[in-house]
Amino acid sequence: MKTKAKNLVILVILGLVFPVLHNINFNLNNENNTSSINPKSSGAYIESFIHIDGSIPNNWSWTAGNYSWCSGDGTWNNPYMIENVTIDGSGREFGIKICNSNSDFFTIKNCTIYNTGSHWTHEAIELINVSIGTIINNNCSFNVGCGITLDANCNNNTISGNTVNNNLEFGIATYASENTTISGNTANYNQFGIFIDYDSHNNTISSNTANFNDYAISEQEGLYNIFSGNIANFNIHTGVYTYQSNFTTISNNTVNGNDIGIELDSGLNWGNHNITKNTIYNNSQGLYIDSFYENNLIYQNFFLENLIHAIDDGTNNIVKRRLDMIRIIVIIFFFIYFYQY
């Protein structure tokens, strides 16, 4: 009887501990940080800057007809393609700028843009009033302002697989943009890794890595945004931060070694967030909810080795915490002990 009980204890402990260890990802190989100020060239084309505006003569069709690095016809099956271009910004306001493009499908791919800007509002890639664009697998690192910016009425765009490290302000930022997918990007060593700002709604930010920033992943005055499956480790302030926003979903993220793991800050009559199934460990504060945030569901999150789990749970919140693993193991031991005797 005792032997069976001991075997049962071992099997239960292994079954509980292994998945946790498997999910705790200390692998920072995706940091993609480099000690060089000049990232590796991505292709054969070199330009000083690119500016395309759908409302003036230098539109997509004119650009595709005059430059070998631009191809396609703007259809879904054959989008306009800017590919394999290296741009040394030399302090200019932008590297690639696309404006007033809402009916042409386009892709910016495998480009390297660095050394742009002399002010925090400058960026390597900027979209203004642009839809149905894809920015994929570019390196927009070591810029004074921002790596990639979607500014003013940029809707239904995709930003995926880009590296935006060591920018003085933002890795990726959106302003007044909707239905944007930001996925699989690496945003390390910026002030803000990924920043969703001012009336940016219904955006999905998933499977990104944002380490060693001031703030890893942030939103301000957002609505119905989703933050899922991101890794936010060792940031100076917060892993996932939301300010004066409503109906945000924060799920399945890993936040490790930050000052605050997940923070809901300063919002009178804001809230209705769903914070679920996040792994929150080794932060100074695991979860912070400002007292003005209301009607949030905090459910099935795993807390481990945070100095403080939560400060000020706000009002009308439903807080259901998983038991820490040590507590679970102790309970199992006591159960087996009393079962034997």
pLDDT in tens, 255-310: 999 999 999 987 566 778 999 999 999 999 999 888 777 788 888 999 898 887 65
How buried is 301 (Cβ within 10 angstroms: 0-12 exposed, 13-18 middle, 19+ buried)?
Answer: buried
Identify whether residues 220 and 330 lie together within a single domain: yes
pLDDT at 336 over 70: no
User: Average pLDDT of the chain?
Assistant: 84
Tokens linked to 299: 């459910």
> What is the residue range of 22's domain?
1-31+210-341
Within-domain flag for 201: no
* Three-class secondary structure of residue 3 per DSSP: helix
Q: How confident is the model at residue 229 (pLDDT cuts 50, 70, 90)?
A: very high
Q: pTM for the whole thing? A: 0.81
Same domain, 180 and 62: yes
DSSP letter string, 278-334: -EEES-SEEEEE-TTEES-EEEEEEEES-SEEEE---BS-EEEEPPPHHHHHHHHHH
- Among residues 164, 195, 226, the one where a domain terminates is 195
Tally of domains in the chain? 2
Token pair, residue 109, equals 């791919």
202 occurs within a structural domain: no
The domain boundary, picked from 195, 223, 251, lies at: 195
Asked if residue 187 and residue 246 are part of one domain, the reply reads: no
Return the beta strands (E) in 2-49 as ranges: 45-47
